[in-house]
Amino acid sequence: VMHLGDDDVQFSSENFVQLPAQFKSTVNFTLNDRKRTTVQILNGDKTSVTVDGQPIQMTAAGDLEIRETMHLERATRLVPLLTDKAIELALLEETKVNDQPAYGVKVSMKGHKDLRMYFDKETNLLVKTEHMLEEPKEAKEFKQEEYYGEVKDLGGGFKRPTRITYYRDGKKRVEAKVIEVKYLEKIPAAEFTKP
């Protein structure tokens, strides 16, 4: 569900992620009785967005949001935090997430905004991330927080959160449930070209 002003809009999304720098998100939803499709693509140093098949002029803030989303996708896989020498980690003060004790790590990397990741102190599972993004219409930064829950193995022997809730400046924006995950040897290059 996307919370858009006073409207709660049901949506479905299919995402392709191929590290280190390919990402595609296709979101389908109905708004005002009209079916809509939005596609965001990051392919190396190129980004593009289409709405209902029509290209949208990219703003600097929109381009940055797609790149920061990929950075977050990469970081939440955790292994790059230990293997990528360009990433710097710093311990944050202990806090609480959903009333449970949690420890935090600040993730810094040149060319990206700092990312804060919080892990449940008892289970060591990732429970929250937060980072700053730009709001293009208001020319200001906002804080995006993502909460993770219902960790399951959906195949491939990897446990991952299947429920994600997004907040922007404290307001709930998206509630999503992961239904299926497929691990592919390689994603065809055509998936990351403009539709």
pLDDT in tens, 26-73: 999 998 899 999 999 999 999 999 999 999 998 888 888 888 988 988
Output the six-digit token pair for 99.
């009333």
Cβ-based neighbour number of residue 122 at 10 Å: 9
Output the six-digit token pair for 112.
């990206």
Output the six-digit token pair for 134.
């730009």
pLDDT at 137: 65
Query: Residue 58's closest CA among 70, 71, 45?
Result: 45
Within the chain, strands assigned E span 2-4, 7-9, 11-18, 22-31, 34-43, 46-51, 54-55, 87-97, 100-109, 115-120, 126-135, 140-153, 159-168, 171-177
Residue 5's pLDDT band (boundaries 50, 70, 90)?
confident
Q: Identify the helix (H) or strand (E) that includes residue 82.
A: helix 79-83
Mean pLDDT of the chain: 92
Q: How many residues does the chain have?
A: 195
Report the alpha-carbon distance of residue 183 to residue 28 in Å, rounded.
Answer: 22
CB 45 within 8 A of CB 51: no
Report the alpha-carbon distance of residue 63 to residue 49 in Å, rounded.
Answer: 9
| pLDDT 10s digits, 147-167 | 999 999 988 888 889 999 999
Report the alpha-carbon distance of residue 169 to residue 132 in Å, rounded.
Answer: 10
Residue 136's pLDDT band (boundaries 50, 70, 90)?
low
